[in-house]
Amino acid sequence: MADLESAVAIANQYGISIRSIVFPRNQYNPEYKHLLLERGIICYRGNEQHSMYRVNIDNYNAPYKRIFRLIDSYVNLSGHHLISWQNIIEHSGLCNVPSSRFYRPPVKGLSLLNHYRQKRIIKSIYAAAKSKKIFHLWWHPHNFGSDSEARLSELEEIFYHFKRCKKEYGMKSINMIETAQLGRSKWEHSKQTSFVKER
């Protein structure tokens, strides 16, 4: 945690408040939760909610799991990985905003495969919009490093469908902190509503 403390201290010097964190390879350790909260961090990005994505030091990188996750990027083997707002809040108060889909770099020369990857993402966005659930798309900046024009064109297509979902279903694009804050608000409201009903 020394590196985290250093990062928080440096950010504070510039008036920046670190409230969220992404662990290397999303390998979150539950033993960190109190340390994170003590440093003002309220949310992290967890893995997809499926056994093939569950972090396990012994077999996370087992060949059969890696093959499954690769194929799952193009063909829906494990679902859309959407999450309900109330389910992002853990008992500790920390919020897990899990990954829904990694924007995987394209495979050169295999445009059909890239088409399936794009189609998988777009279908998940519509599924999230219709169900009023969270879809968390993420990538690394360097994923746009090669053939940037084509990658940005793909991203524009994703934005186009998001805008349709925004217009038709009221979908919003927000960051992890905003997701955690809104999730907490919805959770508190549901608890208050439940209390009123019980009375």
Tens of pLDDT, residues 69-110: 999 999 999 999 999 998 999 988 899 999 999 998 877 777
Residue 134, classed as helix, strand or coil, is strand
**How far apart (Å, rounded) are the C-alpha atoms in residues 86 and 183?**
6
For the record, the structure tokens of 72 come out as: 């799952």
Max distance between CA atoms of the chain, in angstroms, equals 64
Query: What is the residue whose two structure tokens read 């508190």?
Result: 188
Angle at 90 between CA 82 and CA 51, to 5 degrees: 50
- Give the pTM: 0.87
List alpha helices for 49-97, DSSP H. Answer: 63-72
Q: In a structure prediction context, what are the per-residue pLDDT tens digits for the chain, which is 199 residues long?
A: 778 888 889 999 999 999 999 988 788 888 888 989 999 999 999 999 898 988 766 677 889 999 999 999 999 999 999 999 989 999 888 999 999 999 988 777 777 888 999 999 999 999 999 999 999 999 988 888 888 888 899 999 999 999 999 999 999 999 999 999 998 888 776 665 544 444 3
For the record, the structure tokens of 142 come out as: 């360097």
Q: How far is CA 181 from CA 45, 96, 97, 142, 193, in A?
A: 14, 12, 11, 29, 18
Residue 136, classed as helix, strand or coil, is coil
Provide the residue type at 10 as one letter. Answer: I
